[in-house]
Amino acid sequence: MTATLAAIAEPLATIPPFTWVALAALLMLIVPRSLGHAIAALATALVGVQAFIIPTGSYAETTFLGFETVFMYSDPASRLFAIGVGIIATAAALYSWGSNAPKVQTAFALSYISSTVGVIYAGDWLSMIFFWELMAVTSTALVWHYGGDAVRAGYRYAIAHGIGGTLLLGAVVVHFASVDSFLYAAGASDPTGIAPGAAALLAALGIGVNCGFIVLHTWLPDTYPRPHIAASVFLSVFTTKTAVLVMYRAFPDGAMWLAYLGGAMAVYGAFFALLQYDPRRLLSYHIQAQVGYMLAGIGTAALISDAGFATAGGLAHAFNNILYKSLLFMAVGVVIYRTGEEDIRNLGGLWKVMPLAFVAYLVGALSITAVPGFNGFISKGMVIDAAHEVKLFPLLLGEDLLWWLLILGGVGTFMSFIKLGYYMFFHGSSDISPKDATRGQIVAMTLASGFCLYYGVAYGSLFELLPHAAEWVPDAKPYSTGHLTESAILLTAGFVGFAVFKRPLGWLAHVMRDVDVVTVPAVFYTGRAFVWGVTEGWAAVDRAVMSTIASLKRLGSNPEGTARRLGFGTDEEPIQLRSGIARSMFVLTAMVAGAIAILLFG
Amino acid sequence: MSDVFLPLLVAIPIVLSVVPLIAGLRYERAGWPIAFVGSITVTAIAGYVAVTIASSGRLIHALGNYPQPYGIELVGDELSALVALLIAIVSLAVLLYARTAGPRGNAFYSGYLLLTGGLFGVALTGDMFNLFVFLEITSLVTYALVASDRTSGKAAYAAFKYVFLGTVGASMYLLGVGYLYVATGTLNMRDLQEAIASVGYGDPIVQAAFGFILVGFAIKVALFPLHTWQPDAYTYAPDSVSAYISALVSTASAYALIRITYGVFTQSFLEANDLIVTAILVVASVSIVVGSLLALMQTEVKRMFAYSSVAQFGMIVAAIGLANETALFGAILHLLGHGLIKAGLFMAAGVLATAYGARTVTDYAGLSRRSPYAVGGMTLAGIALIGLPPSIGFLGKWFMALGAVEAGAWGVAAVIFASTMLTLAYVFRLVEMLYFRSPSAARTDESAAVEVPDASTDGVAAPDGGSIDRVTVAQVAIVVSIGITVIALGFSWELFADYLDPVLGRFFA
Amino acid sequence: MITPIELMLFVFVLISAVATALFRDVLASIVVFAAYSLGLAVVYTFYRAPDVGLTEAAIGAGITTVLLLLTIAKTSRPAHEKIFEPINWPAVAVCGGFALIVSSTLFAFPSVGDPNTAAMTNPDVTVYYLENAYEETGVENTVTAVLAAYRGFDTFGEAVVVFAAGVASMIVLGREVFA
Amino acid sequence: MTDGSVLGLITTRYAYLVVVFVATVGLYMMIANQNLVKKLIGLNMFQTGIFLFFITSAYVVDGSSAIVPADGAGGPFASPLPQVIVLTAIVVGVSLTAVGLALIIRLYAEYGTLRADALREVIADE
């Protein structure tokens, strides 16, 4: 028996998990739809199972493009993410099956998962960037496949990720030049992160695009609301969370700027989420806010003595976020699937007709808003606890700016989920009576909800997966009185806030209906909205970035026009440096003379 | 014994080139079948030679049984075999494409065969003066082919300009060879390598020789600012000819530059003359940036691709100047990849021009719906041109950039990076037009919209869903298969690394 | 040292070269260029290259001139009032720079007619040809031996170039020119 | 043997100086002369400079041309190799001239001018 188990376990421990998923993606194209989705669910589940089997260390070492690379690098962080991907990709595959997703789309989704798993298990910068770029391509294909509006959005998505990927590629090359190896742990027992200086800057920007750094985030709410609902479930979790992991790989010891940027993202994302009426767009802004918490956790490691705890908090939050964020996209997807409506003001009273979707939404919302008993409470609490120890810019109550940002983000999150739930499920009575979730969707949502609850209650099993567990687990008491009080205050503030600001919110959201159309006026009104603590400074930055992007886009789409404005060329004859024989020979003569002079006298 | 295939590669197309003219007296359409037979034969031989070299090492054939340095020898090593294979494959592809696309006439097919033979000569010869002769054969035919569209005066002017720059370039090369002869008394490449080493790398005659040869090839590969012949030639030549010469003619010259720099002057010469290396890197970098920028500015698609070549060859020359194994490996990959990519792009542009009269970026609006396969092939080739992985373009740029970093030439790495961004911009501009614009929107969008040339008015393509006339399935199939090939080759780096290992080992002994 | 014959020949060559460049009338230019080619042919012959001298006289001074004249006949010969072209000073400057820099390489060159240069003494090339050509090929004229035997492939290429020029002209002009 | 001074250059390497001069005149013609035919003559002249270079490198003072009788007597001989090269190169040169002239005829038929500046204007207006 043991021998059989070992025989099964051995290939599982040595063959990189992305191979199964890639294989499933190919199979998907030839087998019938239902069988294909079953294979997909199995292949992705295998990723989760394998995560437990692969022992810690480096495997599948090989040479790739002429360099030492590691395709299977297993440490607590990669294991954590692989488990998360295993669970949610399986659920999402089932959800796709239940949502009439075409099988080609699921095949694209699987290739996207496969490259995600590749990034997670990469043990060196080279194979990481390889899978990273592949992720960009496959996810673009996933968006594109839906057609319609998604195509233009996917185009912008591709450009954003093309630029981000290239920046990161630059970082990797610079890193190699200074360290002379691509391995994460080059010459050291522990990974040392990306080389400081230019490499770190390029990496921060490149990964920042995928993380949705403020001003680099515009692709996020632009893209995720548009494709097929099942595609959104895939997209919503993997790109951004993988970016968090890679950010951790680049800055394993944290950084101050990362912590405060994370805090700012939490507030910024939550604020903009609050203004949305497209449910998937609202959720997309929350991705930015939640990634903010994760980065704050990872970044805080540099600021406090209990570094391991902060890092673990950030990664734990990423793990939990994978679970509840996809759950939320599933629940919202069911509503869109059944009603075809993408504006929550046209919905209402659905809790009676769609109780299952409502329950799933509720679990997701309670998790993301960090209500005790759900997994978000555990990990967000860890991040806030870590921020509690930061004493760099103390504000009120002796708490640091970072802490206040995270709390404010938390309140905003809570408010926006009350809003979303209120509009979708209550808010008058339903005049439509759509059916509830399909079987596949129910299974998928049950799976995801179950894990949200499980890790909220049995948090010990989450703790043991986290890095540096031995250092901090003994002191971690998530359900202490202090934490519960804090949570209660936070929740109360959220309720009060929503009650008070519901009307002004409606007005504000009315004038800021669509970020794409009215970004610039939105920024103008944002300036007035001091209530929300958004400063004019952000607005200015946002405006500048928006206009830069707009002018870059103009340059890209009509370069000759730009050249004409700068005074080169005319309408009739675009600039082309066309010279005749005489001038060509003149230049040639000078070049020969120059070359020989350099050779002789150099 | 396999070495007898080397002269056959050169001789078969050249001897066959006489046949279309003679047969043409009786049969009007004799040219294509003859060229086809020749092309298939040399492709098979080139493939066989490449495989043989992999197993048994480089082949050397002494012509007329006069060994070097008394006679002329043909050298088939890993590098020249790959270039020969590229020549054979692209020739065949272009020939299949040209069957319906034209230009017609037996003289064209004679020229085509001569050009193919000449290119094989350039790839295989091991003698400096013999290289000159073959360079001139290829140039001469190229001039004529550029001007083979007899209705276009611009094409004739482009060819005329090319005659001057091309001939002076070749003459500069010949002068360099003369200098080397004065310094050493020999013309055989392998012999020269030792002779130059014994004369010394600081000898003014040797230095000047390198200067002449370098500038000569800089013209031939169209390095900025000596590129002035190239955009006109590529733009106004018939589509089949553009595809052929953009893929092979400059490629053969760049190959020759690699062979002479590393096989004759050697890496030690570059090390001893570091200022010229700096100059090469500066000029090549300027070429990369200016070429990319000008490509971005163009409205005419073929001219855009032409300027893109200026940038790509800039990269290859920069990699040659970097003088390390990684960069040169990248340069060779990019040389081969660029040949395929540009052949594909120009043929795709030809298909779209034939079918819809589309020649400018604006004309391309919404063509993906009308010609999904050709546009798909073009897009794949475009992706490879940008250098997105996986594609042969990525491998080339990657290793060149890596070589630059290894050599500490940060500027070159940055320039390659910047050029990638610019390439991204102009290729995506095309892709956006092709896929995301509807024809009418593009018209109103850009005031400078150019009216569709007359070509489309004579009966092709109704505005919606019109069928493609005059474009054959074979043409589209070639474009698509090139697109797929350049992407598929993105997985091949290990194959190339193993294959090229011996020759790189000789260059960097 | 330079001999009087060489001096005379070179002065003639130089003057005719400059005159070719400066004559405004194309016909005059062609004629002077023919004279220049003939001058060179004599120089070649004096430099012990009678085969080359003969070829230059036939091709350089002969065929080229005929081709140039034919072209003039087929196109136009614009009338001019002035005899000489205006001097293009920027061109003079860049050409002068070129000439100076290239001339500076000449310091490293052997003297004209030096029998002990690398080229003359290379045992595997020049010396080998001179010693073995007759034995191996049976031709007394080493130039012919090298042309036809040792470097026969170049000669093959040369023939191809001529053929290519014919094909090229056909492609450029259309067949009717030769029909 | 060789003299490093400028005077030495002129007195002992005079033929190479002629080479440089002739080639330069050829370049000048291609740059400065507007007539296409004259430009082509310039191209020819540039090439003849290179031919002279090779012939000079093969020349031996008091030598004879490279016709070696069966007994190998006589000498010194001029080097045959550069002469062979020039023979080939002359033929290549005239072939190029022929193609260039064909193009000139094409251009004249199309635009009715042989002046480079006028031609560029016409083409730009096209």
Q: Which residue of D has its CA nearest to C19?
A: D25
Q: Give me the percent of chain B exceeding a pLDDT of 70.
A: 94
In a domain, B280, yes or no: no
Out of C81, C109, C137, pick the residue that ends a domain.
C109
Out of B98, B125, B152, pick the residue that ends a domain.
B125
pLDDT of residue B451: 39
* A148 phi-psi bin (left φ>0, alpha ψ -120 to 50, beta other): left
- Read out DSSP for A388-443? HT--SSB-GGG-BHHHHHHHHHHHHHHHHHHHHHHHHHSSS--S-------HHHHH
Q: Say whether both C77 and C126 belong to one domain.
A: no
Query: Other C-beta atoms within 10 Å of C123: how many?
Result: 9
Q: Which residue has the tokens 């003698």?
A: B127
Average pLDDT estimate for A198-215? 84
In a domain, B207, yes or no: yes
Asked if the Cβ–Cβ distance from C124 to B70 is below 8 Å, we say yes
In a domain, B281, yes or no: no
Where is average pLDDT lowest: B105-119, C33-47, D1-15, D99-113? D1-15
Q: Which residue of B has its CA nearest to A164?
A: B421
C111/chain D closest Cα distance in angstroms: 5
Asked if the Cβ–Cβ distance from B420 to A598 is below 8 Å, we say no
Task: Give chains near D: 3+ CB pairs under 8 A.
Answer: A, B, C
D28/chain A closest Cα distance in angstroms: 8
Task: Give chains near B: 3+ CB pairs under 8 A.
Answer: A, C, D
The one-character DSSP state at C56 is I
Banded pLDDT at D7 (limits 50, 70, 90): confident
Beta bridge partners of A70: A61
Where is average pLDDT lowest: B286-290, C108-112, C156-160? C108-112
Give dist(CA B504, CA C11) in Å, integer.
51
Contact A584, D119 (CB under 8 A): no
Asked if the Cβ–Cβ distance from A174 to B215 is below 8 Å, we say no
Asked if the Cβ–Cβ distance from B299 to A595 is below 8 Å, we say no
Where is average pLDDT lowest: A573-582, B149-158, B352-361? A573-582
Residues 6 or more apart whose Cβ sits within 8 Å of residue A87: A48, A322, A323, A447, A448, A451
Q: Which of chain A's residues have a Cβ under 8 Å away from the Cβ of C104?
A: 600
Q: Which of chain A's residues have a Cβ under 8 Å away from the Cβ of B275?
A: 598-599, 602
pLDDT of residue A5: 65
Average pLDDT estimate for B15-24? 85
**Of how many residues is chain D composed?**
126
Q: Which of chain C's residues have a Cβ under 8 Å away from the Cβ of D47?
A: none
Q: Which of A188-197, A356-365, D88-97, D110-119 has the highest mean pLDDT?
A: D88-97
**Please, is B440 exposed, middle or buried when counting C-beta atoms within 10 Å of its C-beta (0-12, 13-18, 19+)?**
exposed
Asked if the Cβ–Cβ distance from A595 to B401 is below 8 Å, we say no
Mean pLDDT of all residues in chain A?
Answer: 78
Mean pLDDT of all residues in chain D?
Answer: 85
B71/chain C closest Cα distance in angstroms: 5
Nearest to B157 by CA among A577, D33, A578: A578
Q: Say whether both C26 and C70 belong to one domain.
A: yes
In a domain, B309, yes or no: yes
Amino acid found at B280 = I
The one-character DSSP state at B363 is G
Rounded to 5 degrees, what are φ and ψ at A68?
-65, 125
Average pLDDT estimate for A501-508? 67
Residue B207 C-alpha from the chain's centroid: 28
* A60 phi-psi bin (left φ>0, alpha ψ -120 to 50, beta other): left
Banded pLDDT at B40 (limits 50, 70, 90): very high
Average pLDDT estimate for A268-274? 83
Q: Which of chain A's residues have a Cβ under 8 Å away from the Cβ of C105?
A: 596, 600
> Which residue would you say has higher pLDDT here, A551 or C4?
C4
Nearest to B66 by CA among C115, D73, D81: D81
Q: Say whether both B135 and B217 belong to one domain.
A: yes
Start-to-end C-alpha separation, chain C: 54
Asked if the Cβ–Cβ distance from D30 to A582 is below 8 Å, we say yes
Rounded to 5 degrees, what are φ and ψ at B62?
-85, 115
Count of domains observed in chain B: 3
Banded pLDDT at B209 (limits 50, 70, 90): very high
Q: Which of chain B's residues have a Cβ under 8 Å away from the Cβ of D96?
A: 136, 140, 163, 167
Q: Say whether both B494 and B409 belong to one domain.
A: yes
Residue B385 C-alpha from the chain's centroid: 13
Count of domains observed in chain C: 2
Q: Which of chain B's residues have a Cβ under 8 Å away from the Cβ of C169?
A: 144
Domain containing residue C30: 1-109
pLDDT of residue B462: 38
Where is average pLDDT lowest: A1-10, A460-469, D40-49? A1-10
Banded pLDDT at B463 (limits 50, 70, 90): very low
In a domain, B283, yes or no: no
Q: Say whether both C28 and C77 belong to one domain.
A: yes
Q: Say whether both B439 and B294 belong to one domain.
A: yes
- CA-to-CA dists, residue B471 to A167, B100, B474, angstroms: 41, 8, 8
Q: Say whether both C125 and C155 belong to one domain.
A: yes
pLDDT of residue B48: 92
Q: Does D108 touch chain B (CB under 8 A)?
A: no
Q: Which of chain B's residues have a Cβ under 8 Å away from the Cβ of A560?
A: 297-299, 448
Q: Say whether both B119 and B132 belong to one domain.
A: no
Asked if the Cβ–Cβ distance from D31 to A586 is below 8 Å, we say yes
Out of C109, C130, C156, pick the residue that ends a domain.
C109
Tokens standing for residue A584: 């060509």
Q: What is the CATH number of domain D6-125?
A: 1.10.287.3510
Q: Which of chain B's residues have a Cβ under 8 Å away from the Cβ of A586?
A: none
Where is average pLDDT lowest: A284-288, A521-525, B118-122? A521-525
Q: Does C106 touch chain A (CB under 8 A)?
A: no
Q: Give me the percent of chain A exceeding a pLDDT of 70.
A: 82
- B440: pLDDT strictly greater than 70: no
Q: Does D123 touch chain B (CB under 8 A)?
A: yes
Q: Say whether both B261 and B328 belong to one domain.
A: no
pLDDT of residue D72: 67
Domain ranges of chain D: 6-125
Task: Give chains near C: 3+ CB pairs under 8 A.
Answer: A, B, D
pLDDT of residue B167: 93
Q: Say whether both C45 and C93 belong to one domain.
A: yes
Q: Which of chain B's residues have a Cβ under 8 Å away from the Cβ of D104?
A: 160
pLDDT of residue D2: 54
The one-character DSSP state at A61 is E
Asked if the Cβ–Cβ distance from A580 to D124 is below 8 Å, we say no
Q: Say whether both C71 and C2 belong to one domain.
A: yes
Give dist(CA D31, CA B137) in Å, integer.
25
In a domain, B279, yes or no: no
- B460: pLDDT strictly greater than 50: no
Asked if the Cβ–Cβ distance from A600 to C90 is below 8 Å, we say no
Banded pLDDT at B288 (limits 50, 70, 90): very high
Tokens standing for residue C53: 């001298």
Asked if the Cβ–Cβ distance from D79 to C37 is below 8 Å, we say no
Query: Other C-beta atoms within 10 Å of B408: how many?
Result: 11
Q: Say whether both C120 and C98 belong to one domain.
A: no
- D38: pLDDT strictly greater than 80: yes
Asked if the Cβ–Cβ distance from A173 to B326 is below 8 Å, we say no
The enclosing H or E element of A318 equals helix A307-339
Tokens standing for residue D9: 């250059």
Q: Does D104 touch chain B (CB under 8 A)?
A: yes
Q: Say whether both B55 and B192 belong to one domain.
A: no
Query: Does residue A124 sit in helix, strand or coil?
Result: strand
Q: Say whether both C19 and C97 belong to one domain.
A: yes
- Read out DSSP for B125-191? B-BHHHHHHHHHHHHHHHHHHHTT-TT-HHHHHHHHHHHHHHHHHHHHHHHHHHHHHHHHS--BHHH
- Could you tell me where the beta strands, DSSP code E, fall in A25-151? 57-64, 67-74
CB pairs under 8 A between B and D: 73
The one-character DSSP state at B391 is S
Tokens standing for residue C105: 């390489």
C12/chain D closest Cα distance in angstroms: 11
Out of C60, C90, C109, pick the residue that ends a domain.
C109
Q: Say whether both B328 and B421 belong to one domain.
A: yes
Q: Say whether both C152 and C165 belong to one domain.
A: yes
Q: Which residues 155-184 of B have a C-beta within 8 angstroms of D?
A: 156-157, 159-160, 163-164, 167-168, 171, 174-175, 178, 181-182
Q: Does C136 touch chain D (CB under 8 A)?
A: no
Out of B272, B298, B319, pick the residue that ends a domain.
B272
A372-419 pLDDT tens trace: 888 888 888 888 888 888 877 777 777 788 888 888 888 888 888 888
Asked if the Cβ–Cβ distance from A585 to D124 is below 8 Å, we say no
Domain containing residue B304: 289-455+463-504
Q: Which of chain C's residues have a Cβ under 8 Å away from the Cβ of A592?
A: 98, 102
> Which residue would you say has higher pLDDT here, A225 or B217?
B217
CA angle B221, B226, B227 (to 5 degrees): 60
**Please, is A451 exposed, middle or buried when counting C-beta atoms within 10 Å of its C-beta (0-12, 13-18, 19+)?**
buried
In a domain, B41, yes or no: yes
Mean pLDDT of all residues in chain C?
Answer: 85
Task: Give chains near A: 3+ CB pairs under 8 A.
Answer: B, C, D
Q: Which residue of A has its CA nearest to B492?
A: A65
B371-425 pLDDT tens trace: 888 899 999 999 999 988 788 999 999 899 888 888 888 888 889 888 888 888 8
- C58: pLDDT strictly greater than 80: yes
CB pairs under 8 A between A and B: 136
Q: Say whether both B100 and B151 belong to one domain.
A: no
pLDDT of residue B444: 46
Q: Say whether both B312 and B433 belong to one domain.
A: yes
- In this structure, are strands B59-62 and B73-76 parallel, antiparallel, or unpaired? antiparallel
Query: Other C-beta atoms within 10 Å of C151: how many?
Result: 30
C95/chain A closest Cα distance in angstroms: 7
Q: Say whether both B204 and B331 belong to one domain.
A: no
- A448: pLDDT strictly greater than 60: yes
Q: Say whether both B336 and B423 belong to one domain.
A: yes
Print the SS3 string covering B24-35.
CCCCCCCHHHHH
Q: Say whether both B42 and B139 belong to one domain.
A: no
C168/chain B closest Cα distance in angstroms: 5
Q: Say whether both C104 and C130 belong to one domain.
A: no
Q: Say whether both C122 and C166 belong to one domain.
A: yes
Nearest to B58 by CA among B69, B70, B66, B50: B50
Q: Which residues 38-97 of B have a C-beta within 8 angstroms of C?
A: 63-64, 66, 69-72
Partner residue opposite C98 with nearest CB, options A582, A589, A600: A589
Q: Which residues 300-329 of B have a C-beta within 8 angstroms of C?
A: none
